[in-house]
Amino acid sequence: MVWGFMSACGMGSLHIWKGTINAERYIQVLEQHMLPSRHRLFQGRPCIFQHDNARPHTASITTSWLPENIPVLAWPAYSPDISPIEHVWDAMDRRIRQRVPVPANIQQLQTATEEEWTNIPQAKINNLINSM
């Protein structure tokens, strides 16, 4: 499972873990990765957090935690995945599949994912964000 923070102010943290995610684990990821990325990139300036309506994102524990820590962009219940980060995941997937050699195990895949995350041009991120 992969979680990442991107913004017009720069790329934030990327977090990779084994297994699935529940609301409690999602809040841990937000506390350990989103909040520090937000602090580093926005330095106290206002920002709005965006995520989709996956179950861990909409669980009552998450919806109680979020407003206390960051404003959240309202997301329609049955909207298609139009989030800018979906395009980033797609581009990263394509670039990883084009590697020679293709990652042959989990460690190689994790390394490739981390490398591709750091190679995303900020101009591409800005274009995706501005397209919304």
Q: Please, what are the domains in the chain?
A: 2-130 (3.30.420.10)
pLDDT of residue 13: 95
Q: Identity (one letter) of the amino acid at 3?
A: W
Strands (E) in 36-125, as ranges, are none
pTM of the complete model? 0.88
d(CA 105, CA 100): 14
Using pLDDT thresholds of 50, 70 and 90, give the confidence band for residue 131: confident
pLDDT of residue 81: 63
* Average pLDDT of span 106-125: 96
* Helix or strand holding residue 23 (H, E): helix 23-29
Residues 6+ apart with CB under 8 A from 88: 4, 6, 120, 124, 125, 128
